[in-house]
Amino acid sequence: MINLTDLPNDILLLIFSMVEGEITDNPFIRISKNLKISILNHHRHHTTPLMYKKYCMTNPYSCIFPFTLSRLECVCKLFSEVSKQLWEPIFIQHIRNGKVYKHPNNYNYKKKYYSKIIPYYKKIMVFYYKDREYSREMFHIKSNNSYVYMKYIKKAIEHEYIDNPELRYQVEGLLGHEPTLRNTWTLDLNFEGMVRCRRKSVLEKDIYKRRSQVAHQYHTIYQKIYNSMKNY
């Protein structure tokens, strides 16, 4: 039985060029309606699997995309040697719209391709970093406010102030958030108002805790991708 590694390099090169992957593994690629490829610099647009399938049917020898190509390089030494030859054609196809260079060159096409998609991953990495830091700040604020409300609620119960529904409380020491600073403020509330605000703060505290954890996970993932490409 013949294995893939027994095939000539030019045959392997042709096979690899036809390997389809998941478009979701290459989120930086945009395929237009006329099946032209461009590189995104943000993550607000996504190419659908159906559009990718249509592209592969029209361009059967240009199906392989960077993520799949990088995986093939890691299979074995032979696959790595053959796969490296595909970085030039996909760079020409994706980045230069099929226009080959007029003069011979010794470019590292994988590095050149990476340089085009690094900004995409940097933006996502920065986005999740900012979201994580904001969520952590809001978690601290909501934790503080939950504590402050509970302090006033306990005081009202201990002194039996709750028997007077008309009594108002000046709840001091609450934290607010502005884009450039953290500020303290006071609310004028009755007992029921304090209870409602306490419940709301506890709920929001848990939401921001989870949000910061998710943002941290994604920031770690994209930071790893970004660093691997930048240091290639």
Encode pLDDT of 132-171 as tens digits. 999 999 999 999 999 999 999 999 998 888 888 889 999 9
Could you tell me whether strands 169-177 and 182-189 are parallel, antiparallel, or unpaired per DSSP bridges?
Answer: antiparallel
| Shared domain check, 8 and 98 | yes
Q: Look at residue 103 and tell me if it is in a domain.
A: yes
pLDDT bin (cut points 50, 70, 90) of residue 195 is very high
What does the block give as tokens for 198? 């306490």
Per-residue pLDDT at 43 exceeds 70: no
For the ranges 40-44, 80-84, 151-155, which has the lowest average pLDDT? 40-44
Q: Rounded distance, CA 206 to CA 146, Å?
A: 11
Amino acid identity, position 129: Y
Instruction: Report the percent of the chain where pLDDT is more than 90.
Output: 43
Q: Rounded distance, CA 74 to CA 68, Å?
A: 10
How many domains would you assign to the chain?
Answer: 2
> Which tens digits make up the pLDDT trace of 107-128?
999 999 999 999 999 999 999 9
| Shared domain check, 186 and 145 | yes
Write down how long the chain is.
Answer: 232
Q: Look at residue 114 and tell me if it is in a domain.
A: no
Q: What is the pTM of this model?
A: 0.81
| Shared domain check, 98 and 169 | no
> Which tens digits make up the pLDDT trace of 27-39?
888 888 888 888 8
Amino acid identity, position 221: I
| Shared domain check, 195 and 96 | no
Please indicate whether residue 29 or residue 215 has the higher confidence score (pLDDT): 215
Range of the domain at 184: 122-230
The residue-averaged pLDDT of 195-222 equals 96
Domain-ending residue, one of 58, 73, 107: 107
Q: Look at residue 86 and tell me if it is in a domain.
A: yes
Q: What's the confidence (pLDDT) of residue 170?
A: 94
Buried b / exposed e along 199-227 (16+ C-beta atoms within 10 A): eebbebbeebbebbeebbebbeebbebbe
Question: What number of other Cβ atoms are within 10 A of residue 123's Cβ?
Answer: 16
| Shared domain check, 99 and 146 | no
| Shared domain check, 99 and 134 | no
